[in-house]
Amino acid sequence: MRILLVGAGGVGNAIAKIAAKRSFYEAIIVSDYSLDRAEDTVGWVAKKHPEAAAKFSATKIDASSVDDVVSVIKEHKITHLMNAVEPKFVPPLFEAAEKAGINYLDMAMSLSLPHPENPYELPGLKLGDKQFERHADWEKQGTLALVGLGVEPGLSNVMAKYAQDYLFSEVDEFAVRDGANLVVRDEDGNEIFAPSFSIWTTIEECLNPPVIWEKDKGWYTTEPFSEPEIFNFPEGIGPVECVNVEHEEVLMIPRFLNGKRVTFKYGLGNEFISVLKTLNQLKLDSVKPIRVRSANGPVEVAPRDVVAAALPDPATIGPQMEGKTCAGVWVTGKGKDGKDKSVYLYQVADNQETMAEYESQCVVWQTAFNPVVGLELLANGTWSGSGVLGPEAFDAKPFLDLLAAPESEGGYGIPWGIQDV
């Protein structure tokens, strides 16, 4: 397996660091629009894991150019493209992998477009639609596009599959719930607004109409931040208010699993929601370029890109961050014994621990380990397939077993849990 890792930002950097401890691949080519950033990642691997250094190299790439990506694929004899950049780059990277005839993985899917007339009732173009519509072509080609394999979507989908196959005889709802007690402080110890994940992606998720799926209704939409509820997260995080947010799980799980309802709610907090609403009111969430005067004359720039540039890079805020983040899925229905059952399957990441071992803040680290586990299962033949598939299309137990097994026994040593709700 020869992997082209596209993107050496927070998540891409963490993917390389986690993979450096594994041996299932022949080579990992770390690529980025900034060669310096890709080389920094490879340099960290060489310093911390010199035994793996020969397998890593860095190169520059233009993720927006299909031709450039195909050229890099051919030059390095790539077998798997791992997309670790923002979802706006999904179309060219997905197309490049298909054109080159190789396998593809991502953690966030092709973007949505709201319904032009009834955005808060009906879905328009849904997350992942542009990829799933290519399923037959990938299947005919005999290559695999394993999409949505981050933490959410990704691990949450794997856990939903595990719950259906091993814990439940009938599922009423797959309710993905994400919450944290993370705090970022400045040099003086004051709490600051610094999103722990790409603000570009966060705006896309949080301001688009959230999607809900019900067996008798199919997919439908609602208002952003609707249906607030308090969910009590495990391992000391505690109660967090969660609201409806657009997310891939709701578009993926119904394609492969059998439940009556699928939802996604995110613990944003009042301050975060207020900031997002303000950005929306000021049209600073727009991706359409506007003309701006500058010292060097007028330039065109997308307001959302300006917001992203003005905020701290999520990859760099780890030393200023404290707390834990939790991702998981709350499943309700009938257990294998036919009795009512309600459990939350989850994984908690502690920023202090991820910074100590990987020098990666916990949110990007928690996203990053899942595609590495998936790649290893593909490399050893435990998972196999062709077409455009989500992680819930595969057996979940080998994934969760490999994830939790101690490193001394060949696993990743990353615990996950189940608690009654």
- CATH topology identical between 2-150+365-414 and 155-363: no
pLDDT confidence tier of residue 145, bands split at 50, 70 and 90? very high
Mean pLDDT of the chain: 94
- Give the model confidence (pLDDT) of 83-106 as tens digits: 999 999 999 999 999 999 999 999
Mean pLDDT of 367-387: 98
Architecture label for domain 155-363: 2-Layer Sandwich (3.30)
pLDDT score recorded for residue 124: 97
Identify whether the C-beta of residue 105 lies closer than 8 Å to the C-beta of residue 82.
yes
Mean pLDDT of 392-406: 98
Query: Is residue 188 scored above 90 in pLDDT?
Result: no
pLDDT mean over 181-206:
81
**How far apart, in whole angstroms, are the C-alpha atoms of residue 87 and residue 99?**
19
Asked whether the predicted pLDDT for residue 144 surpasses 90, the reply is yes
Kindly list the distances between the CA atom of residue 392 and the CA atoms of 159, 165, 252, 317, 372, in Å, as whole numbers in the listed order. 8, 11, 8, 32, 16
Number of H helices, E strands in the chain: 14, 20
Superfamily covering domain 2-150+365-414: NAD(P)-binding Rossmann-like Domain (3.40.50.720)
Q: Tokens in use for 231? A: 């969910």
Poorest-pLDDT segment among 44-48, 250-254, 302-306 = 302-306
Q: How confident is the model at residue 194 (pLDDT cuts 50, 70, 90)?
A: confident
- pLDDT on residue 275: 86
> What pLDDT, in 10s, does the model give residues 305-343?
888 888 877 778 878 889 999 999 999 999 999 999 999
pLDDT tens, residue by residue, 27-39: 999 999 999 999 9
For the chain, give every domain's residue range: 2-150+365-414, 155-363
Whole-model pTM? Answer: 0.92
Q: Residue 72's pLDDT band (boundaries 50, 70, 90)?
A: very high
Query: Is the predicted pLDDT of residue 195 greater than 80, yes or no?
Result: no
pLDDT at 252: 98
